[in-house]
């Protein structure tokens, strides 16, 4: 009888530990004050926010997110992104967070937009860092999210890619995302560290994610920080005006001499803009 009890206890503990590991989001918190939720971009761990969190945690309670499959965290079953979104809503509700500011980069900004469009989330403002409400619509001609599926020749090729070829891909991608050489190395390592299946199928989820219609529901202050590189100010301005046409009001600022990772290319400017946005009523 003791042996049976021991076996049952072992499997229960193992099951609980597995549930803890395989979560859609992982959160670290620091500081005191009104909450700020930091959501990173695709493949990027929450640690990417560390420099700005260190500047803000004296007066804000910082909740830093890492998404499943990235930053060394365990992968989850697919569909990936809907589970991430649901987990974020559940986290806000469980923690009973109010007067929330969400700062999101890239995919994290798209998620922040979706969260802000839903009244129950108690979000008072969002700061979107080089983020679009429908990245797929920008990248794919005749965009239709229903046509994007996991089982595709492109995805299969990405899954089958050798480690050396994938490293070359990561290296090329990192060089286009930041002007800072040290940042490029970090970005490359984050891509290589990502769970490959999450990288491939999760990106399909990302491209399918279209929140342009949800913009009509947003009445809170929104700050858009856009990177000048590589397309130039005029093209960036046109892209943002088109993508955010359903958003009634927002502050739009272009980061000069910065690529996709604005916070790495222009850290002082970025901190200044975030502080300005946090001061908005």
Query: How does pLDDT run across 59-97, given as a tens digit for each residue?
Result: 999 999 999 999 999 999 999 999 999 999 999 999 999
Going 179 to 192 to 42 to 169, the CA torsion angle's sign is: positive
pLDDT (0 to 100) of residue 120: 83
Instruction: Note the pLDDT of residue 280.
Output: 77
- Report CA-CA distances (Å) from 24 to 57, 66, 204, 263: 24, 9, 16, 25
List the alpha helices (DSSP H) in the chain: 2-21, 50-56, 80-94, 107-116, 135-139, 153-160, 163-177, 181-193, 196-208, 233-243, 262-265, 267-279
pLDDT of residue 14: 39
What pLDDT, on a 0 to 100 scale, did the predictor assign at position 21? Answer: 52
**pLDDT in the model for residue 26:** 98
Q: What is the pLDDT of residue 173?
A: 97
> What is the mean pLDDT, run by run of 10 residues, along the chain of 281 residues?
44 42 92 98 98 97 98 97 98 96 98 94 96 96 94 97 98 97 98 98 98 97 97 97 97 98 98 95 68
pLDDT, position 11: 42
**Residue extents of the structural domains in the chain:** 24-279
The reported pLDDT for the residue numbered 111 is 98
The CATH architecture one would assign to domain 24-279 is: 3-Layer(aba) Sandwich (3.40)
């Amino acid at each position: 009888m003791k042996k049976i009890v021991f076996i049952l206890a072992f499997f229960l503990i193992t099951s609980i530990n597995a549930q803890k590991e395989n979560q859609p989001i992982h959160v670290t918190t620091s500081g005191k004050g009104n909450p700020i939720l930091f959501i990173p971009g695709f493949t990027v761990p929450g640690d990417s926010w560390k420099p700005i969190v260190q500047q803000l945690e004296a007066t804000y309670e910082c909740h830093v997110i890492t998404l499943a499959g990235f930053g060394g965290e365990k992968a989850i079953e697919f569909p990936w992104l809907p589970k991430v979104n649901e987990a974020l809503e559940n986290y806000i509700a469980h923690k009973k967070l109010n007067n929330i500011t969400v700062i999101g980069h890239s995919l994290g900004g798209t998620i922040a937009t979706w969260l802000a469009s839903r009244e129950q989330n108690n979000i008072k403002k969002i700061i979107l860092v080089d983020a679009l409400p429908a990245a797929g619509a920008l990248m794919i001609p005749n965009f239709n999210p229903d046509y994007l599926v996991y089982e595709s020749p492109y995805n299969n090729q990405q899954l089958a890619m050798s480690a050396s070829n994938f490293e070359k891909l990561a290296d090329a991608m990192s060089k286009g995302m930041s002007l800072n050489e040290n940042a490029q190395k970090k970005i490359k390592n984050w891509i290589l560290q990502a769970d490959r299946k999450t990288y491939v199928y999760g990106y399909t989820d990302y491209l399918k994610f279209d929140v342009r219609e949800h913009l009509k529901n947003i009445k809170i202050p929104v700050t858009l920080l856009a990177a000048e590189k590589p397309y130039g100010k005029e093209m960036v301005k046109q892209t943002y005006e088109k993508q955010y046409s359903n958003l009634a009001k927002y502050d739009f600022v272009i980061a000069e001499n910065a690529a996709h990772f604005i916070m790495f290319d222009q850290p002082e400017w970025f901190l200044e803009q975030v502080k300005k946005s946090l001061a908005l009523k």
